[in-house]
Amino acid sequence: MAPRRIIIDTDPGVDDVLAMLLALTASPEEVEVLMLSLTFGNIDVQSCLKNVVSMFHVIGRELEWRRDNGKPEGFEALKRTKPLVAVGADQPLEDQLMMADYFHGADGLQGIHETHPHLTPDQTWDTLFKPPPPSTSSINPSATATVITSSSLFTPSHLPAHKEILRLLSENPPETITIVAIGPLTNLALAASADPETFLRVKEVVVMGGTIDTAGNVQSQSPGAHQAKHPGWQITPVAEFNTFADSVASARVFALTSPDPSSTMPPPPPPSTHERHPPFLPAYPPKLSKTLPLTLFPLDVTTTHWLARDVFEATVQPLLDKGSPLAEWVHAFVHQTFLKQTHLHEGPEGLSMHDPLTIWYILTGHLSSWTASPSSPEDIRIETSGQWTRGMSVTDRRSRRRPTGEESGEQEVQGDTDGWLARSRGNRVRRIVGTPGEKDFGAWLCARIFGAEGPGGEEGVGLLGVASSIAWQVGWGMLGV
């Protein structure tokens, strides 16, 4: 089976980094990571970039540590394909900027750059993402050497992320690249607006976002904090963060799944009262060659896939004791996130692995245990203008059904003014409801990222009793270690 070729569009906070590590530690037969496309979201986009560059810096140190200690290096997918890193949107299309730094920390990784500065590369890396100056005579040679070393595992881009997305899609055969979107969909919306037909060359867009029957996860750090900064800005109990952070972008991307995108596009914005605002994107052309294949991972399915604290500690502590740079880096921000989660919420100690679940799907999507909702593809629309419901995933919950076949033809259903029952209107979203297993995902994730061995191996024996069934199903033999 050919590897899945993917672009990861991300706003690197805690679980985003775990998702990227899961992809980069895969085998080259499973996945080829072409690009990491960065967007604002959990934090500002420049902090996202710093986290990604730091991740590659730590991976480089980890590879060296494993070689020096006679351990298999792993990271085979990364060694086969050096991914592009491109910086994208720094603000939403129309909504006011919101970030989740209250949960992920101001830098997205619980202050890792201050608490563990020895695991953060020198700031000279920022020159990688700027066009080279006309003359290089004034560049410090030692700084240049540091920059080159830092970028040995990735290729920096000088283009905006949405332009790199379009370039990759145009230069490769149609339906060979999948986009995994685990942050706000601003970069995707910009790419789709700039060149809809090129964007529709994508094989599939896999989105972590939205919530159907589960409560939302949008909240402010303290009551009224964001409202004071952004007058009139409301926090909603019914939206997931990614769709809330740029509801207009989400609505525009979802609209491409419709036979008639205009039927679910967000309404035109009211006249702006601000002196500055981003340019509003135009409508899509009236006729497009195809609809967008979009697979959705809402909170309903991601929330129940946990990384338990005891499983994480059992995996990482032996590696910490031996001096693994990757274990030290990841433990620093995941441990702090466990503490914050315990402070904010009562219940078992664990973290929902929202973003890594999408990568698990990329690696094992051929398994029949991945199931979509019985009503898929569903007409799921994103609310963009509600006072209390911005970012809400809206479905028709009335006891009605869409006519099929000759039963409806192209005729409108009487009284269905918004097209919820029309064959030619409304979105068509494939919503995932079933996975290979909830209970054991966290243990499998740890084993993949940190190179724990299978049953009987030296490392990770304690956690394998928890994960043995699912680990063997999806293949301990594919760990590459």
Is residue 388 a contact partner of residue 227, using CB atoms and an 8 Å limit?
no
Q: Environment class of residue 269 by beta-carbon count within 10 Å: exposed (0-12), middle (13-18) or buried (19+)?
A: middle
Taking phi over 0 as left and psi of -120 to 50 as alpha, with beta for the rest, 419 belongs to: left
**Which of these, 323, 308, 330, lies nearest to 112 by C-alpha position?**
330
| Cα within 13 Å of Cα(430), Cβ side | 12
pLDDT score, position 426: 96
What digits encode the pLDDT tens for the residues 113-126?
888 899 899 888 88
Q: State phi, psi for 209 to the nearest 5 degrees.
A: 175, 165
Distances (CA, A) of 167 to 22, 162, 191, 355: 25, 9, 10, 25
DSSP structural state of residue 271: P
pLDDT bin (cut points 50, 70, 90) of residue 190 is very high
pLDDT score, position 454: 37
**Which residues, at least 6 apart from 346, have a Cβ–Cβ distance to it below 8 Å?**
none
Q: What percent of the chain has pLDDT over 90?
A: 63
Is residue 208 a contact partner of residue 358, using CB atoms and an 8 Å limit?
yes
pLDDT bin (cut points 50, 70, 90) of residue 410 is low
Q: Is the pLDDT of residue 349 over 70?
A: yes
Is residue 110 a contact partner of residue 337, using CB atoms and an 8 Å limit?
yes
Q: Is the pLDDT of residue 226 over 60?
A: no
Cα-to-chain-centroid distance, residue 270: 30
Q: Is the pLDDT of residue 318 over 90?
A: yes
pLDDT score, position 273: 57
Average pLDDT over residues 350-368: 96
**Which of these, 1, 2, 161, lies nearest to 89 by C-alpha position?**
161
pLDDT score, position 1: 74
Average pLDDT over residues 34-54: 94
Q: Is the pLDDT of residue 168 over 50?
A: yes
- Cis bond before residue 28 (omega within 30° of 0): no
Query: What value does the mean pLDDT of the chain take?
Result: 84
Q: Is the pLDDT of residue 408 over 70?
A: no
pLDDT score, position 467: 42
Q: Is the pLDDT of residue 84 over 90?
A: yes
Query: Alpha-carbon distance 314 to 320, whole Å?
Result: 11
**Which residues, at least 6 apart from 417, have a Cβ–Cβ distance to it below 8 Å?**
none
pLDDT score, position 146: 46
Specify the range with the lowest mean pLDDT, choosing from 131-135, 189-193, 250-254.
131-135
Angle at 206 between CA 417 and CA 105, to 5 degrees: 105
Is this model's pTM higher than 0.85 or not?
Answer: yes
pLDDT score, position 290: 98
pLDDT bin (cut points 50, 70, 90) of residue 345 is low
